[in-house]
Amino acid sequence: MDISRLPTEARQRRRAEIRAFLRSRRARVTPAEVGMPAGGGRRTSGLRREEVAVLAGVGVSWYTWLEQGREINVSGEVLDAIARVLRLDPSERAHLYLLAGLNPPPVDAGADAGPAVVPDALRRVVDGWLPRPAYLIDRHWNFVAVNDAARAVFGYGVGDHNCLVSFFTSAATRSSLCHWQDAARAIVGQFRADAARYPDDPWFGRLAADMCAASPAFADLWAEHQVGSAAQGLKALRHEAVGELVFEYTTLPLPDLPGHRLMLYTPAPGGDTGARLARLLETGGAVGAEAGARS
**pLDDT tens per residue across span 172-188:** 888 899 999 999 999 99
* Torsion angle defined by CA atoms of residues 212, 215, 219 and 220, in that order, rounded to the nearest 10 degrees: 170
Question: Are 246 and 274 contacting, i.e. CB atoms less than 8 angstroms apart?
Answer: no
pLDDT at 222 over 90: yes
Biggest alpha carbon distance in the chain? 68
pLDDT at 144 over 60: yes
Q: Residue 163: what pLDDT?
A: 92
pTM of the entire structure? 0.70
Q: Residue 280: what pLDDT?
A: 93
Confidence at 35, pLDDT banded by 50, 70, 90: confident
Q: Which DSSP string do the residues of the chain spell out, in sequence order?
A: --GGGS-HHHHHHHHHHHHHHHHHHHHTS-GGGGT----SS-SSSS--HHHHHHHHTS-HHHHHHHHTT------HHHHHHHHHHTT--HHHHHHHHHHHT--PSSP---TT--PPPPPHHHHHHHHHTTTS-EEEE-TT-BEEEE-HHHHHHH---TT--BHHHHHHH-HHHHHHBTTHHHHHHHHHHHHHHHHHH-TT-HHHHHHHHHHHHH-HHHHHHHTTT-----SEEEEEEEETTTEEEEEEEEEEE-TTSTT-EEEEEEEPTTSSHHHHHHHHHHHTHHHHHHHHHH-
pLDDT at 105 over 60: no
Kindly state the average pLDDT of the residues 224-243. 90
Confidence at 192, pLDDT banded by 50, 70, 90: very high
Average pLDDT, the chain: 85
Question: Are 106 and 90 contacting, i.e. CB atoms less than 8 angstroms apart?
Answer: no
pLDDT at 189 over 80: yes
Distance CA 3, CA 6 (A): 5
What percent of the chain clears pLDDT 70, i.e. is strictly above it?
87
Q: Identify which of 269, 261, 227 has the alpha carbon closest to the alpha carbon of residue 21.
A: 227
Q: Residue 101: what pLDDT?
A: 80
Q: Residue 112: what pLDDT?
A: 42
Kindly state the average pLDDT of the residues 117-139. 92
